[in-house]
Amino acid sequence: MAQTLAVTGKGGVGKTTCTALMIQWLVARQSTPILAVDADSNANLHELLGVNYQATVGGIRESARKEAQRLFGMAKQEFLDLRVHEALVEQRGYDLIVMGRPEGQGCYCFANNVLRDVIQRLAGKYQHVVVDSEAGLEHVSRRTLLTLDYLFIVSDCSVRGVRTARRIADLADEMGTPVKHRGLVVNRVPQGVLPPKIREEVEATDLRLWSVIPEDPHVAAMDAGGKTVCDIPEDSAARAAIGVLMEELLSAAPKREKPTLAVPAGGGR
């Protein structure tokens, strides 16, 4: 069964950047195949990965709704299976599927449930499923997340970002979202050193601090130039920090029991 990793957090904190860097790390490690899921209705993971897509799950859901009169039971299931497979963008080491936004009106319950099944069945064919989520709490309250092995709650280096991360974790708990491991990733930290106030905020949460990702000029340059994560040098601070985090989490290394708050310069822990 695939290991499922999802990235969540407040708007603009770096969720998509972190997701793309994680996919890149897994591909480089040949920890493949990977299913990359863009679950943000404003899809843009594909841009950071440098790929295009044609169809979205939202679009498929809409056509299933239109075809509802004609298709019954297995026929509908097969129709969805086929269309979802067609929507997969195949790349070296990973396939990308874009959820898109729900289109049109009407009751989506049936199609939504069937599609969740389709994606869950699809997920069984992969070693990892990596999900880039929409900003904020709504998707958590809608319970659109699959069962997760790792939930990365990303914050920027701000009090509000850390507090939002905490609220997301609390909501996921309240909703009974099945998450095996969850932790906090503080991104865009100047020189990779958490300011004392942010440290305090992190300590006030019950979240484990999984990673401190430095503010990285290579990431900024990538974005300014409309480039992809492949254009970020291997030894860049953000890429290196994601590498350390993934290595620690996914290797057999014993799990850390307490947040590590002493952060050396350069983004290590």
Ligand X SMILES: Nc1ncnc2c1ncn2[C@@H]1O[C@H](COP(=O)(O)OP(=O)(O)OP(=O)(O)O)[C@@H](O)[C@H]1O
| Contact positions vs ligand X (CB under 6 A) | 9, 11-17, 40, 135, 187-188, 213, 215-216, 219-220, 223, 238
Handedness of CA 126, 132, 137, 142 (dihedral sign): negative
> Candidates 9-17, 157-165, 175-183, 239-247 — which segment interacts with Mg ion by CB under 5 A?
9-17
- DSSP label at residue 175: T
Residue among 124 and 190 whose Cβ is closer to ligand X: 190
b/e per residue, 8-34, with b = 16+ CB within 10 A?
Answer: bbbeebbbbbbbbbbbbbbbeeeebbb
Q: How far is the CB of 154 from ligand X (least distance, A)?
A: 7
> Candidates 12-20, 136-144, 158-166, 188-196 — which segment interacts with Mg ion by CB under 5 A?
12-20
Distance of alpha carbon 87 from alpha carbon 120, whole angstroms: 15
- DSSP label at residue 144: -
Own/partner long-range contacts of 242-251 (Cβ < 8 Å, ≥24 apart): 242/18, 242/21, 242/22, 242/25, 242/211, 242/213, 243/25, 244/211, 244/268, 244/269, 245/185, 245/210, 245/211, 246/22, 246/25, 246/26, 248/210, 249/150, 249/181, 249/210, 250/3, 250/31
Q: How far is the CB of 2 from ligand X (least distance, A)?
A: 22
Q: How far is the CB of 47 from Mg ion (least distance, A)?
A: 10
Residue among 80 and 134 whose Cβ is closer to Mg ion: 134
User: Can residue 187 be called a binding residue for Mg ion (CB under 5 A)?
Assistant: no
Per partner kind, with CB cut-offs from 5 to 8 A, the member of Mg ion, ligand X, none near residue 14 is ligand X
- The candidate with the shortest Cα–Cα distance to 1, out of 143, 115, 110, 146, is 146
Q: How far is the CB of 103 from ligand X (least distance, A)?
A: 20
User: Can residue 16 be called a binding residue for Mg ion (CB under 5 A)?
Assistant: yes
User: Can residue 205 be called a binding residue for Mg ion (CB under 5 A)?
Assistant: no
Residue among 25 and 80 whose Cβ is closer to Mg ion: 25
Q: Taking a C-beta distance cutoff of 8 angstroms, is the pair 214, 241 a contact?
A: yes
User: Can residue 19 be called a binding residue for Mg ion (CB under 5 A)?
Assistant: no
Q: How far is the CB of 72 from Mg ion (least distance, A)?
A: 38
Q: How far is the CB of 228 from Mg ion (least distance, A)?
A: 14
Q: Closest residue to Mg ion, Cβ-based?
A: 16
Per partner kind, with CB cut-offs from 5 to 8 A, the member of Mg ion, ligand X, none near residue 213 is ligand X
> Which positions lie near Mg ion, rule CB under 5 A?
15-16
